[in-house]
Amino acid sequence: MAQQADITAMRRAVELAARGLGATSPNPVVGCVITDASGHPVGEGFHQRAGGPHAEVHALRAAGVLARGGTAYVTLEPCNHTGRTGPCAQALIEAGVSRVVYAVADPNPQATGGADTLRAAGIEVEQGLLEDEAEAGNIAWLTSVRRGRPFVRWKYAATLDGRIAAADGTSRWISSAESRADVHRLRAEADAVVVGSGTARADDPHLAVRGVDGAVQPLRVVVDTEATAVKPGARVLDDAGPTLIAIAEDAETTLTDVVRLPRAERGLAVPALLDALHARGVRSVLLEGGPTLAGAFIAAGAVDQVVGYLAPVLLGAGPAALADAGITTLTEALRLDVTETAHIGSDIRITATLKGA
Ligand code: AOF
Ligand code: ZN
Q: List the domain boundaries for the chain.
A: 2-139, 149-352
Annotated active-site residue 126? The verdict is no
pLDDT for 357 beyond 70:
no
Most informative mutation of 44, 60, 74, 76 for ligand 1 (most atoms within 8 A of CB) = 76
pLDDT band at 221 (very low <50, low <70, confident <90, very high): very high
Q: How far apart are CA 352 and CA 306, in angstroms?
A: 5
CA of 28 to the centre of ligand 1 (A): 6
Q: Which atom of ligand 1 is nearest to the CA of 46?
A: 3
Q: Is the domain defined by 149-352 classed in CATH 3.40.430.10?
A: yes
* Matching CATH number, 2-139, of 1.25.60.10, 3.40.50.300, 1.10.443.10, 3.40.140.10: 3.40.140.10
CB count, 10 Å around CB of 239? Answer: 8
What rounded mean pLDDT belongs to the chain? 95
The 99-104 sheet, strands edge to edge: 41-46, 31-35, 71-76, 99-104, 124-127
How many CB atoms lie under 10 A from the CB of residue 235? 16
d(CA 285, CA 193): 6
Q: Nearest to residue 43, comparing CAs of 13, 15, 2, 88?
A: 13
Residue 101 has pLDDT above 90, yes or no: yes
Residues 178-191: tens digit of each pLDDT: 999 999 999 999 99
Task: Record the pTM.
Answer: 0.92
- 8 A C-beta contact, residue 109 and residue 47: no
Tell me: the pLDDT tens digits for 66-85?
A: 999 999 999 999 999 888 77
> Is 197 a known ligand-binding residue?
no
Q: What's residue 1's pLDDT?
A: 54
Q: Is 83 in the pocket of ligand 1 (CB under 6 A)?
A: yes
Residue-wise over 256-287: b if at least 16 C-beta within 10 A, else e? eebbbbeebeebbbbebbbebbbebebbbbbb
290 is in an annotated binding site: yes
> Does any ligand 1 atom lie closer than 6 A to the CB of residue 23?
no
